[in-house]
């Protein structure tokens, strides 16, 4: 393992004190990426970048980049709103975060988005998959009764829930996926998202039609389509197959039945970070696409070897978009999302006209039309120009915002009121803008945490929750990184599952292959052969006095 | 947008500015209560002025009352706003009442060059994005000095222009530039205040606020073009010329020819 302790240790005793090469900004609580015990951590700023460092008594020091732009990291702290208490909690506080998921009564936010993974099976075996899914003999899939229970837990917790996302595995290969969608639509859940690789959408017109029929006013169904880029290499390295024609067919089929699509790109350093602009342009040009979501590859589950110190973060993606499409974007067009921890997710909205490449194409980022920070900066603003506009912006800058939902459309219309110039020159601009919302386009950037970057501070306010078959709501990043995913798979499949360890460069000497393509520790750390699993036992300095 | 307005006399200019600030094109492109820097710059000004709860504040050219409301709410001061526009005064009064601030804020129609306020009765005068528009600046500065008590403070945020170096293309900004036409460089404002017997205590360039304003004009122009092109062209907006004008404005900011500034001054004892 590579030593990452930054304390300079002079070989010869010296009388001159030296400064550290970094600014210590936060104490943190994290986990050991190898054995998943909870350990102390520290957040430091070095060379204008933000790093999380921690040390496991057994497995040594670890360090990872968590935000590529220190100024943006510090500025984002203002965009943090008070959380909303969910109606119910599913667990109790016993050992503390992140061992009690969830949600436990100490959780700071309700669930903006609930995720139901319907299976572990998939019609692809992607080299990158945080769910560690694929053609596997020993996974699981849920049945309708289980799905209904999961939906009920979500609704009990939320009252009226904004969005549920069906995921997997590959949810479209589950034989009852349409029944699951019906079950969601029969409950107090405003919108359904289907997270898919698009293979079935490209080949099964009848299935697409059935989805289109379920996409109806007040109960939209949106497609969350994996879409990583246009280079063949991108497809081969991330998905293991050239899926370009399939993606195009899937998109066209969705457009034919009026389904709204979000293009979702997993972005990996050195693979497809040059394709961000092209993905946005493609989305703007395609009638089905209303938003793009960029997600730095989550180094949980299965992924290609990576360097934790140079991984991509939200600010890197923002700067890359501004570099690749300088005529349309500046970095400051993106604002942190205040419902979760503001460093987790950033969003911008555009109003557009025409298609890219045509003469009359025009694009206006909404944050240039009104000063978003006058509304979403919760620290500086004791007076907000218009509280209805703040409320609208809160719904737009949220993990529950998806294009095609009534909530998002209505809030865009409401936001136009902030333009504050009704009837100037005989033009009612707010009204004119309200008519443009069908052409609004959303860009989301979301850096999910992995076992290297996990910071309990962010988990505690997470609003994207994995709904488990046993009726828990577990923050997605805890589910992926702390051991819950392995726990649930083991419970559901009856097959022992060792804790997955990130396939990072420094850890290569101790890694061996898991049966699912991910990596596990060859040392036996994180293996639970007797079925006894304690989630994230504590190795921080708690519960003991000094004598 | 394409009609350059050249005021010839002070009276015309004053009428022009009152009309322009209530004017449709400005409202369309900047909103009715816009000033560069927004509430954040208002706060910076208030902090620089060290506003204390209970102080008597006069907001000169108070517009729709945004600054007055922010100061009364966040700094617990008593604010009187004066503005040349009846419509602005009515709107600002209404908004303050709705916000439950009627006991702390009032607005009156008045001219900055003849303030309807007793001598030495004010703790703090603020004037945001308006001093540049006053045709008789020495008279306005003298009025600020007259109404301030000894030790009273003045805070100004405003457009700065180095007139000799302003590119002619910027005249194409029409209604907007009409108000900027008599803006001064930062040291010009400082000299005006000193000329009125005030001591300048702090100056700061805030050119980012001007860049943000140009960004917003550009964005709203694009939006108007998208949403209501024919209507806008009918009232004289020239979408083909706008990009060159905006580019010239950006270049002028980069060259320190056009900018924004914050100044504070104090009336000596």
Domain with B81 in it: what CATH number?
A: 3.40.50.150
Q: Which residues of B touch A436 (CB under 8 A)?
A: 226-227
pLDDT at A4 over 70: no
pLDDT in 10s for each residue of chain B, 269 residues: 333 333 334 444 444 444 444 455 666 666 666 778 888 899 999 999 999 999 999 999 998 898 999 999 999 999 999 999 898 899 999 989 998 999 999 999 999 999 999 999 999 999 998 898 888 999 999 999 999 999 999 999 999 988 778 777 775 555 455 556 688 999 999 999 999 999 999 999 999 998 988 888 888 888 888 888 888 787 777 788 888 888 888 999 999 989 999 999 999 99
Confidence of residue A533 (pLDDT cuts 50, 70, 90): confident
Asked if residue B56 is part of any domain, the answer here is yes
What share of chain A in percent tops pLDDT 90?
75
Asked if residue B1 is part of any domain, the answer here is no
Confidence of residue A527 (pLDDT cuts 50, 70, 90): confident
Asked if residue B93 is part of any domain, the answer here is yes
Q: Which residue among B28, B43, B216 places its CB closest to the CB of A424?
A: B28
> Across the interface, do B223 and A373 touch by the CB < 8 Å criterion?
no
pLDDT, tens digit, for every residue of A79-93?
Answer: 999 999 999 999 999
Whether residue B87 lies within 8 A of chain A, CB to CB, comes out as no
Q: Which residues of B touch A435 (CB under 8 A)?
A: 227
Give the pairing type, strands A335-336 and A289-296: unpaired
> Across the interface, do A436 and B227 touch by the CB < 8 Å criterion?
yes
Which range, of A104-113, A167-176, A521-530, B246-255, averages the lowest pLDDT? A521-530
pLDDT value of residue B174: 52
Residue A256 is classified by DSSP as H
pLDDT, tens digit, for every residue of A503-517?
Answer: 999 999 999 999 999
pLDDT, tens digit, for every residue of A114-145?
Answer: 999 999 999 999 999 999 999 999 999 999 99
> Across the interface, do B40 and A373 touch by the CB < 8 Å criterion?
yes
Asked if residue B19 is part of any domain, the answer here is yes
As a whole number, the mean pLDDT across chain A is 92
**Top-ranked range on mean pLDDT: pick from A3-7, A156-160, B171-175:** A156-160
Task: Give all strands of the β-sheet with A60-67 in edge-to-edge order.
Answer: A23-31, A38-46, A49-56, A60-67
Asked if residue B49 is part of any domain, the answer here is yes
> Across the interface, do A429 and B218 touch by the CB < 8 Å criterion?
no
Tell me the average pLDDT across A402-426. Answer: 75
pTM of the model: 0.88
Tell me the average pLDDT across A420-431. Answer: 66
Asked if residue B116 is part of any domain, the answer here is yes
One-letter-per-residue 3-state SS of chain B: CCCCCCCCCHHHHHHHHHHHHCCHHHHHHHCCCCCCCHHHHHHHHHHHCCCCCCCEEEEECCCCCHHHHHHHHHHCCEEEEEECCHHHHHHHHHHHHHCCCCCCEEEEECECCECCCCCCCEEEEEEECCHHHCCCHHHHHHHHHHHEEEEEEEEEEEEEECHHHCCHHHHHHCHHHHHHCCCECHHHHHHHHHHCCCEEEEEEECHHHHHHHHHHHHHHHHHHHHHHHHHHHHCCCCCCCHHHHHHHHHHHHHCCCEEEEEEEEECCC
Confidence of residue A6 (pLDDT cuts 50, 70, 90): low
Structural domain that includes position B76: 10-266
pLDDT, tens digit, for every residue of A199-211?
Answer: 999 999 999 999 9
Top residue of A379, A383, A418, A423 to mutate, by most chain B CBs within 10 Å, is A383
Whether residue A16 lies within 8 A of chain B, CB to CB, comes out as no
- Closest alpha carbon within chain A to B36: A371
pLDDT value of residue B16: 42
Confidence of residue A23 (pLDDT cuts 50, 70, 90): very high
pLDDT value of residue A45: 98
What share of chain A in percent tops pLDDT 70?
95
Quote the ipTM score.
0.76
pLDDT, tens digit, for every residue of A262-288?
Answer: 999 999 999 999 999 999 999 999 999
More confident residue, A453 or A421: A453
- Closest alpha carbon within chain A to B27: A421
pLDDT value of residue B9: 45
Q: State how many domains chain B has.
A: 1
Asked if residue B40 is part of any domain, the answer here is yes
pLDDT value of residue A1: 46
Write out residues 150-179 of A within 8 Å (CB-CB) of B. Answer: none
Cβ-proximal residues to B68 (8 Å cutoff; 6+ apart), any chain: B57, B59, B62, B79, B81, B92, B96, B105, B107
pLDDT value of residue B171: 59
- Closest alpha carbon within chain B to A352: B226
Q: Which residues of B touch A361 (CB under 8 A)?
A: none
Residue A83 is classified by DSSP as P
Asked if residue B4 is part of any domain, the answer here is no
């Amino acid at each position: 393992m590579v030593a990452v302790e930054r304390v300079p240790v002079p070989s010869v005793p010296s009388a001159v004190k030296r400064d550290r090469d970094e600014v210590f900004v936060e104490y943190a609580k994290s986990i050991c990426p190898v054995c998943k015990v909870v350990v102390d951590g520290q957040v430091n700023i070095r060379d204008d970048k933000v790093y999380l460092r921690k040390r496991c008594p057994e497995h040594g020091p670890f360090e990872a980049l968590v935000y590529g732009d220190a100024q943006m990291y510090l500025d984002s702290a203002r965009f943090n709103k008070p959380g909303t208490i969910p109606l119910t909690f599913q667990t109790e506080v016993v050992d503390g975060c992140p061992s009690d998921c969830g949600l436990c009564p100490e959780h700071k936010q309700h669930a903006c988005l609930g995720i139901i993974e319907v299976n572990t099976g998939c019609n692809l075996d992607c080299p990158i998959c945080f769910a560690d899914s694929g053609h596997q003999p020993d996974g699981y899939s849920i049945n309708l009764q289980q799905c209904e229970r999961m939906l009920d837990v979500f609704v009990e917790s939320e009252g009226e829930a904004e969005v549920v996302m069906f995921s997997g595995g590959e949810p479209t290969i589950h034989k009852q996926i349409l029944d699951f969608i019906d079950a969601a639509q029969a409950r107090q859940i405003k919108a359904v998202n289907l997270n898919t690789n698009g293979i079935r959408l490209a080949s099964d017109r009848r299935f697409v039609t059935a989805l289109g029929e379920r996409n109806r006013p007040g109960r939209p169904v949106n497609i969350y389509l994996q879409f990583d880029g246009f280079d063949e290499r991108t497809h081969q390295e991330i998905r293991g197959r050239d899926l370009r024609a399939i993606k195009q067919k899937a998109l066209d089929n969705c457009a034919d039945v009026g389904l709204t699509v979000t293009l979702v790109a997993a972005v990996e350093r050195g693979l497809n970070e040059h394709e961000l602009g092209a993905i946005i342009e493609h989305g703007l040009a395609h009638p089905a696409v209303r938003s793009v979501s960029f997600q730095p590859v989550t180094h949980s589950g299965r992924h290609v070897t990576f360097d934790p110190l140079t991984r991509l973060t939200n600010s890197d993606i923002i700067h890359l978009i501004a570099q690749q499409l300088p005529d349309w974007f500046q970095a400051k067009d993106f604002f942190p999302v205040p419902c979760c921890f503001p460093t987790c997710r950033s969003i911008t909205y555009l109003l557009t006209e025409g298609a890219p490449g045509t003469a009359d194409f025009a694009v206006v980022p909404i944050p240039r039309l009104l000063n978003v920070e006058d509304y979403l900066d919760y620290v500086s603003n004791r007076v907000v120009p218009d509280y209805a506009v703040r409320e609208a912006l809160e719904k737009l800058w949220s993990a529950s915002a998806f294009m095609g939902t009534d909530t998002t459309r209505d809030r865009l219309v409401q936001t136009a009121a902030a333009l504050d110039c009704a009837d100037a020159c005989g033009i009612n601009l707010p009204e004119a803008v309200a008519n443009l919302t069908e052409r609004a386009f959303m860009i989301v950037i979301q850096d999910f945490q992995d076992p290297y970057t996990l910071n309990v501070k962010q988990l505690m306010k997470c609003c994207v929750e994995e709904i488990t078959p046993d009726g828990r709501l577990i923050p997605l990043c805890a589910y992926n990184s702390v051991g819950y995913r392995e726990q649930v798979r083991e419970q559901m499949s009856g097959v022992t599952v060792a804790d997955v360890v990130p396939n990072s460069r420094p850890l290569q000497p101790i890694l061996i292959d898991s049966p699912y393509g991910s990596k596990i520790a060859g040392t036996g750390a994180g293996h639970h052969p007797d079925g006894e699993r304690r989630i994230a036992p504590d190795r921080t300095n708690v519960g003991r006095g000094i004598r | 947008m394409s009609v350059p307005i050249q005021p010839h006399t002070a009276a015309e200019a004053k009428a022009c500015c009152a009309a322009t600030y209530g004017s449709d094109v400005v409202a369309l492109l900047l909103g009715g209560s816009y000033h560069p820097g927004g509430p954040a710059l208002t706060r910076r000004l208030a902090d620089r002025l060290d506003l204390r709860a209970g102080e008597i504040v006069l907001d000169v050219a108070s517009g729709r009352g945004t600054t007055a409301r922010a100061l009364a709410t966040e700094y617990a001061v008593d604010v009187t706003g004066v503005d040349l526009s009846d419509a602005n005064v009515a709107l600002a009064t209404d908004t303050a009442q709705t916000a439950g601030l009627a006991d702390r804020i009032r607005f009156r129609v008045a001219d900055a060059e003849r303030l309807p306020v007793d001598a030495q009765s004010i703790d703090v005068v603020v004037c945001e994005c308006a001093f540049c528009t006053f045709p008789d600046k020495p008279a306005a500065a003298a009025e600020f000095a007259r109404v301030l008590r000894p030790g009273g403070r003045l805070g100004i945020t405003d457009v700065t222009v180095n007139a000799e170096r302003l590119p002619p293309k910027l005249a194409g900004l029409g209604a907007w530039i009409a108000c900027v036409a008599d803006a001064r460089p930062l040291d010009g404002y400082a000299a005006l205040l000193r000329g009125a017997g005030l001591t300048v205590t702090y100056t700061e360039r805030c050119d980012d606020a001007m860049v943000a304003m140009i960004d917003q004009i550009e964005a709203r122009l694009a939006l108007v073009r998208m949403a209501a092109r024919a209507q806008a062209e009918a009232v004289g907006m020239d979408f083909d010329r706008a990009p060159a004008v905006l580019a010239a404005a950006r270049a002028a900011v980069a060259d320190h020819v056009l900018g924004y500034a914050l100044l504070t001054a104090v009336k000596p004892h």
